Amino acid sequence: MKQYLVTVLIVLIAITANLNAQDKPLSINHGPYIQNVSGSGVTIVFSTDGYVLPGVLLSESNKEPRLIRNSHDGLVNVGNGVHKVRIEGLMEGQQYSYKVMAVEIKDHQAYSVTYGDTLYSGKHSFSTFSAEKELVKFTMFNDVHDNAAKIGSYLEQTKIDEQDFFLLNGDIIGHVDDEYQIYHNFIDTCANRFASRIPMMYVRGNHETRGNYARQLKNYFDFDNDKYYYAFTQGNTRFIVLDTGEDKPDNHGEYFGLVDFDTYRAEQLEWLKQEMASPEFQNAEVKIVFAHIPVLKVDKSWHGMAQLAKHYGPVLKKADIDLMLCGHTHQNAWVDAKKTGFGYPMMICSNEDFLAAIVEKGQIKMWIKNQKGEEVDYKVVKLK
Ligand SMILES: [Fe+2]
């Protein structure tokens, strides 16, 4: 009898939970946030907690909004969870406003589809990049290691809408366990505070290669060529993002035979050489490289850093870059151009501070600030 009652109770709980799940209205549960911005395109990313037909309603000044949906292999994109809507053909340096929309698909059969509610986000706006922009302002933080409140305190000290982009320079989370962590520990804070309107550029850190969900991390971003290494232009500056990978040798016991960063760094180096031969790089007046692990010539260093110095250092030296911005060491450090070993100066930002930068005619100005907004360091790089 007792066992019978327990079974009935379990069945009732299961039915109630199922009814609650069915009752819960569909929602846009994360985002939107913007990714992969260029002079002519943008990707709007958001998530729903149900199966939908996603889209973006894009408005340009004085024009009726147009609905943009993506398709692949002849099929319009539908799905659950993360949605990415790529928009191309935009005008350089132009402001656009948008709303994301999601049409619920209640039932999707071969010969019948039942649509449900249509959801809309609030209205947001963004600007495409422009070669004509005279001042380029950006904010960088790194090594936050799951502390979303720290991101919040950096943002408190930042004039968000003056920034051209925010650069998350690696180890924003300590390792990658699941989707909840990715949203809760950084993306939600960024999306709510700035990333619905200002680009959130992501650089992978060595800690973000660890954990059983690390192979899914890329799904939450949109990168050119679907790689963690990429480049973009704003104003007169070419920005290059490198993925410096893990710090220890691939066969180190900590990785359990599950990494292959020597091959990856070699593949990325070929891309870097191509990038540096491109007109976008060659024609840029200013060249700034972001890398989580510093590319620096030092006598004694761990495997990853030694590999980077040996293979990447000479390529970057030859390309005559103006500045490298890094994290990883958890200490602020300014390394003069004569001391990096490769002719460029480097600023390393600690895990307790953030970096604000302005690229202007003839110079790059940089401030390291703490969570109270107090100036910790200030440097100017005079452009050649
Ligand atoms: Fe790191």
Q: Is residue 2 part of a domain?
A: no
Q: How far, in Å, CA of 162 to CA of 231, rounded?
A: 21
pTM (two decimals):
0.93
The CA distance from 71 to 74, in Å, is 6
| Whether 174 and 87 share a structural domain | no
Tens digit of each residue's pLDDT (9 = 90 or more) over 229-271: 999 999 999 999 999 999 899 999 999 999 999 999 999 999 9
Nearest CA among 228, 212, 222 for reference residue 178: 212
Question: The domain that contains 59 carries what CATH number?
Answer: 2.60.40.10
Counting residues of the chain whose pLDDT is more than 90, the rounded percentage is 88
CA distance 235 to 37: 13
pLDDT at 16 over 70: no
Domain holding 248, by residue range, is 136-382
What Å distances lie between residue 92 and 133, 160, 328, CA to CA? 10, 21, 34
The arithmetic mean of pLDDT across residues 123-149, rounded, is 97
- 204 alpha carbon to ligand 1 midpoint, in Å? 9
Tell me, yes or no, whether 360 and 233 share the same domain.
yes
The residues whose Cβ lies within 5 A of ligand 1, an ion, are: 171, 205-206, 328
Q: Ligand 1 centroid vs 203 CA: distance in angstroms?
A: 11
Residues 85 and 171 in one domain: no
Spacing, Cα 145 to ligand 1 middle (Å): 9
Asked if the structure places residue 20 within a domain, the reply is no
Distance 205 CA to ligand 1 centre (A): 5
What string of DSSP letters covers 19-84? HHHHHSPP-EEEEEEEES--SS-EEEEEEEEEEEEEEEEEE-TTS--EEE--EETTEE--EEEEEE
Residue 22 pLDDT > 60, yes or no? Answer: no
Which residue carries 């600023």 as its tokens?
Answer: 347
pLDDT: which is higher, 21 or 204: 204
State in Å: Cα 351 to ligand 1 middle: 10
Q: Where among 127, 144, 176 does a domain terminate?
A: 127
pLDDT band (50, 70, 90) for residue 44: very high
358, 241: one domain:
yes
Calculate how far, in angstroms, residue 219's C-alpha sits from the geometric centre of ligand 1.
Answer: 21
**Does 164 share its domain with 248?**
yes
Residues 109 and 155 in one domain: no
What is the mean pLDDT of the segment spanning 354-361? 97
Q: Helices in the chain by DSSP H: which ranges?
A: 2-23, 148-156, 179-182, 188-190, 261-277, 279-282, 303-307, 313-319
Q: Estimate to the nearest angstrom the gap between the alpha carbon of 249 and the chain centroid.
A: 26
Closest CA to 96 of 42, 58, 41: 58
What separation in Å is there between the alpha carbon of 200 and the centre of ligand 1? 19
The answer to whether residues 245 and 96 belong to one domain is no
Question: Is residue 206 pLDDT above 60, yes or no?
Answer: yes
Quote the pLDDT of residue 15: 52
How many domains, in total, are found in the chain?
2
Does 95 share its domain with 147? Answer: no
Based on the fold, state whether residues 118 and 144 are members of the same structural domain: no
Q: Are residues 229 and 203 in the same domain?
A: yes
Backbone φ, ψ for residue 5 (5° rounding) = -65, -40
Cα 169 to averaged position of ligand 1 atoms, centre (Å): 9
One DSSP character per residue, 178-212 reads -HHHHIIIIIHHHIIIIITTS-EEEE--GGGG-ST
- 68 and 109 part of one domain: yes
CA of 76 to the centre of ligand 1 (A): 39
Ligand 1 centroid to residue 187 C-alpha, Å = 19
- Residue where a domain terminates, one of 127, 156, 183: 127
pLDDT at 11: 52
* Cα 293 to averaged position of ligand 1 atoms, centre (Å): 7
- Answer whether residue 14 is part of any domain: no
In a shared domain, residues 152 and 293 = yes
CATH of the domain at 259: 3.60.21.10
Domain boundary among 87, 107, 127: 127
Mean pLDDT, residues 47-61 taken together: 96
Nearest CA to 178 among 142, 132, 215? 215
